[in-house]
Amino acid sequence: MKHIVILGSTGSIGVNALDVIEKLGADYAVLALTAYGNAELFMEQVKKFRPRFACVMNEEAHKKIKDALPEHTKLLPAEMESLTFLASLPSADLIINGLVGSVGFLPLLSAVKHGKTIALANKEPIVMAGRSIMEECHRWDAKILPVDSEPSAIFQCLERKGTLSSYEEGGKSISRVLLTASGGPFFKRKGSLKNVTPAEAVAHPRWKMGKKISVDSATLMNKGFEAIEIMHLFNLPLEKIDIVVHPQSIVHSAVEYADGSIIAQMSNPDMRLPIQYAVTYPQRVPSPVRKLSLKDIAKLEFAEPDFKKFPCLELALWCAQKGASYPAALSGADETAVDAFLKGEILFTDIPKLVYTVLKAHRCKPGKVSLIEAAETESWARTKAAEYVKNKKYTKAVL
């Protein structure tokens, strides 16, 4: 039996993961669940899946459920130490990290340092300190299995006979990776995006996701994050990553090898498929996802991303190229910017301006960034961005 910890069980990744686990049957058991503040949904999940441990990080939600949990479930304190403890449970076979933003950094490190296999949807920690995290994975014999559809697709295209390949020292046999992007809700929208509302930004045309990642998808920042993520997960240089807008979200990504062959992973857009692959890895089993019919697809479109319309993507790729502590600053600034936009404090088009202003103020240290330095830089960037929001001090994003 595989025992699974889900960090972020009430978010889109967690909800889909529980649906997958339920359908997989008795060979998969939920060991622990965590959430932030959706007490009602969390209680439903606890009663249904009967985990040994539970944790909600919001104090108000914690108070609501502390006397309502079943006897077999132990409620942990609403603090970071609870997340890091659950991420490293000795009896856990798989940690699904569906947390949002930088809060997932310490739990991921805890899982890595205990040699766990991690199904990772929380990409911000890899953006912040990918090189150092991958070195820790090697040191502690931990494994990261990407859960987002595009990194998962690349993982599947590079996989060899049920084990991870070495990728031949940075992908010498790989000509390029075709990292696809849906383009979000505004790819074909004409005119200015200045008056975009939060409701419009989170209404993704293909995927049902949380608010933060939905806004990142709308600005294409998420695709820049994924470029940084796959650089580190698969030891690939940025110049081998080619971002392609594909509105149908059928080709989830592809790998072109040195001989010109392209291997793609295709399916209907459904997060349960990459989640299930991480849960059952290295096995493939039947899934509830509707099978893809090529005969029913009218057409598949591919296009270059519009960097002028979506400057967040250019900012992310610039940080990927610069390296060092820039990606950590990027992650922190974006987290504050998206939060400010969702609260109505800044415009949609102010997001890249705010991120750029923080990056411009950042005093980057050259060379490899330690885990502590990455965390400090990300925290500084969030604070600095909040200061700029308060003072309405940000400028046009021009690199």
- Assigned domain for 280 exists: no
Dump pLDDT digits (tens) for 282-321: 999 999 999 999 999 889 999 999 999 999 999 999 999 9
Q: 56 and 107: one domain?
A: yes
206-215, 276-285, 378-387: least confident range: 206-215
Q: 192 and 120: one domain?
A: no
Helix (H, G, I), strand (E, B) or coil at 56: strand
Q: 140 and 17: one domain?
A: yes
Task: Render the burial of 339-348: b for 16+ CB within 10 Å, e for the rest.
Answer: bbbbeeebbb
Q: 79 and 172: one domain?
A: no
Given its phi and psi angles, is residue 193 left (phi above 0), alpha (psi -120 to 50 degrees) or beta? alpha
Q: Which domain holds residue 43?
A: 2-146
- Assigned domain for 276 exists: no
What CATH number corresponds to the domain at position 118?
A: 3.40.50.720
Q: 89 and 165: one domain?
A: no
- Residue 281 tokens, joined: 């890895």
Q: 26 and 142: one domain?
A: yes
- Assigned domain for 32 exists: yes
Q: 22 and 137: one domain?
A: yes
The pLDDT assigned to 246 comes to 97
What CATH number corresponds to the domain at position 371?
A: 1.10.1740.10
Domain C-terminal end among 101, 120, 146: 146
The pLDDT assigned to 206 comes to 81
- Assigned domain for 398 exists: no
Q: 33 and 139: one domain?
A: yes
- Assigned domain for 190 exists: yes
% of the chain surpassing 70 pLDDT: 95
Q: 141 and 194: one domain?
A: no
- Assigned domain for 316 exists: yes
Pairing of strands 74-75, 262-266: unpaired
Place of tokens 């606890």: 46
With a cut of 80, say whether residue 205 has pLDDT above it.
yes
Inter-helix orientation angle 371-391/350-361, to 10°? 130
* pLDDT, the chain, mean: 93
93-107, 116-130, 220-234, 362-376: least confident range: 362-376
Q: 163 and 212: one domain?
A: yes
Average pLDDT over residues 20-32: 97
Number of folded domains that form the chain: 3
289-297: long-range contacts, CB 8 A cutoff, minimum separation 24: 292/250, 292/266, 292/267, 292/268, 297/248, 297/250
Q: 214 and 334: one domain?
A: no
- Assigned domain for 153 exists: no
* Spatial contact of 374 and 328, defined as CB atoms under 8 Å apart: yes
- Assigned domain for 304 exists: no
Q: 123 and 26: one domain?
A: yes
With a cut of 90, say whether residue 213 has pLDDT above it.
yes
